[in-house]
Amino acid sequence: MKQTPGYDAIQRQMAPGVITLEGFLGTDNRKLIDILNADDATVRRAEVTHQQIAERMQYFRDIGLDGLGEFMGVDDHFDVRVDSVRGKLPSPFGGPGMYEKVNTTVVNKRLGREVVYTDLHIHFVRDHGFYEGKGSSYRLEPEDLIAILEVAPAT
C-alpha cells in the first residue's frame, strides 16, 4: 500500500511539538504507511489481531481503575496499576473526542516482565494498528504486548 496525502497529514500531526513534546514517531524516518504495514505483519505472524491486543489492553485498564494508583492482583499472575494524570490528548488520526491521560502498568509475574501504556495507545492499536515509531519513548512492540498480556492466537 502506498502513502496517501491523508497519511501525510496524519504523519505531520505526529511530529514533535504538534500534539506532544516528543511526538509519536521517535527516530523512525519511514513513512507512516510503512510503519503500520510492518507492525501489521508482526501481528499477523503471531496469529492475533490488533483488536485482540486492544481488548486485552482495555481489560487490564478497566480492572485497574478500581484500585486507582495502587497495584491490584489480576488472574493470579498479573499485577495492574492505573494512574491518572490531568489532561486529555487528541488523536493524530483525528476522529471524535479526546483521550484521558491514563497510564496502565501491567506486570506479568510469571514472565517477570511489564508494559506501560496509555488510553491513547489503546485507541492507536484498536483503531489503527499503530504502536508508535521506532525510537519513540512510548513505542509499544507488538511482540511484547502479545507476550506480556498473554494475547491468545485467533481461532
- Sorting pLDDT into bands at 50, 70 and 90, what band is 96? confident
| 50-57: average pLDDT | 98
CA-closest candidate to residue 24, choices 149, 140, 122: 140
d(CA 11, CA 140): 18
| 65-92: average pLDDT | 93
CB atoms within 10 A of CB 68: 12
Q: How far is the first Cα of the chain from the last one, in angstroms, to the nearest whole number? A: 27
pTM of the entire predicted model: 0.94
How high is the pLDDT of residue 85? Answer: 85
Beta strands of the chain (E only): which ranges?
72-74, 78-89, 99-108, 113-118
pLDDT tens, position by position, 98-109: 999 999 999 999
97 vs 88 pLDDT, higher one: 88
pLDDT tens, position by position, 107-151: 999 999 999 999 999 999 999 999 999 999 999 999 999 999 999
Strand order in the sheet with 72-74: 72-74, 78-89, 99-108, 113-118
- Sorting pLDDT into bands at 50, 70 and 90, what band is 86? confident
How high is the pLDDT of residue 117? Answer: 98
How high is the pLDDT of residue 28? Answer: 97
Q: Which three cell numbers stand for residue 107?
A: 506486570
Average pLDDT over the chain, rounded to an integer: 95
How high is the pLDDT of residue 120? Answer: 96
Domain boundaries, the chain: 5-148
